[in-house]
Chains A and B, each alone.
Chain A
Amino acid sequence: DVKVTQSSRYLVKRTGEKVFLECVQDMDHENMFWYRQDPGLGLRLIYFSYDVKMKEKGDIPEGYSVSREKKERFSLILESASTNQTSMYLCASRTTGGAGYTFGSGTRLTIV
């Protein structure tokens, strides 16, 4: 089975901090994605990457950046954390033309 691993299950950070969320997949998928999930709003795409060093903005990229230096790892960076970035963050990977995503177990991030 494809495995997508997110480094932290729960995280609490302070306003203004730079926050790194890490995601690693073990099945050589080209495409990786970061979503956030909020009640009533569903999953919203922040950024995605279709190859090493390639990145594309999703629907809500403001306040975030990403890094993909290796195929298996996709990092989400909150440049200066704010309370409205408190959310569940979900990483996913997918092979091109594949049936769907495999998600990591999510990181529940709280900004205080």
Chain B
Amino acid sequence: RKEVEQDPGPFNVPEGATVAFNCTYSNSASQSFFWYRQDCRKEPKLLMSVYSSGNEDGRFTAQLNRASQYISLLIRDSKLSDSATYLCVVNSPGTGRRALTFGSGTRLQVQP
């Protein structure tokens, strides 16, 4: 079983739509959680950290459910510029929590 699992998509949505991605992680000792965004042929960039109480950054909302070991990302009012691959990321307890483990990503395509 992969440590971090995501639906690869693609999710094709019209502009203005709300879209949600889920991600599950296998190691209950993970402590830090993130969403990264990766544009085609570019490096991943940190989108937002995910906190236990849930957190919001503009149109983006992240939630963590420790009991079920899943993380979600909600994007409201989708823009064309949101088209990218979204990577779910957790810290790797086996590395002294120094390293991060990445999901394979969920591809989002926002259409006009």
Contacts of A40 in B (CB 8 A): 8, 104
Asked if B102 lies at the interface with its beta carbon under 8 angstroms from chain A, I say yes
Interface residue tally for chain B (C-beta within 8 Å): 22
Question: With contacts A58-B99, A96-B98 known, is A103 near B104, CB below 8 A?
Answer: no
- CA A8 to CA B95, docked complex, whole Å: 28
CB pair B102–A99 under 8 Å, yes or no, is no
The answer on a CB contact under 8 Å between B98 and A31 is yes
* B17 CB within 8 Å of chain A: no
Binds B, one of A11-19, A43-51, A66-74, A76-84: A43-51
Report the bound CA distance from A90 to B42 in whole Å: 10
Chain B residues whose CB sits within 8 angstroms of the CB of A102 once the complex forms: 46
Q: Is B49 in the interface zone, CB < 8 Å from A? A: yes
Measured CA separation A42–B85 after assembly (Å):
11
Cβ contact of B99, chosen from A41, A45, A105, cutoff 8 A: A45
Q: B92 to chain A: which residues have CB within 8 Å?
A: 45
Name the one of A33, A48, A106 contacting B43, with C-beta atoms under 8 angstroms: A106
**Nearest chain B CB to A28 CB, angstrom units:** 16
- With a CB–CB cut-off of 8 A, which chain B residues contact A103? 43-45
Query: 1/0 contact trace for B89-105 toward A, CB 8 Å?
Result: 10010011011111111
The answer to whether B87 has its CB under 8 Å from any CB of chain A is: yes
Interface contact A104-B98, CB-CB below 8 Å: no
B residues 32-81 touching A (CB-CB < 8 Å):
34, 36, 42-46, 49
Compute how far the CA of A35 lies from the CA of B13 in the bound complex, rounded to whole angstroms. 31
Q: Which one of A40, A48, A105 has the greatest number of beta carbons of chain B within 10 Å? A: A48
Known: A33-B99, A40-B104, A42-B103. 17 other contacts (CB 8 A): A40-B8, A42-B87, A42-B102, A43-B44, A45-B99, A48-B98, A48-B99, A58-B95, A58-B99, A90-B43, A90-B44, A94-B98, A100-B34, A100-B46, A100-B49, A103-B44, A105-B42
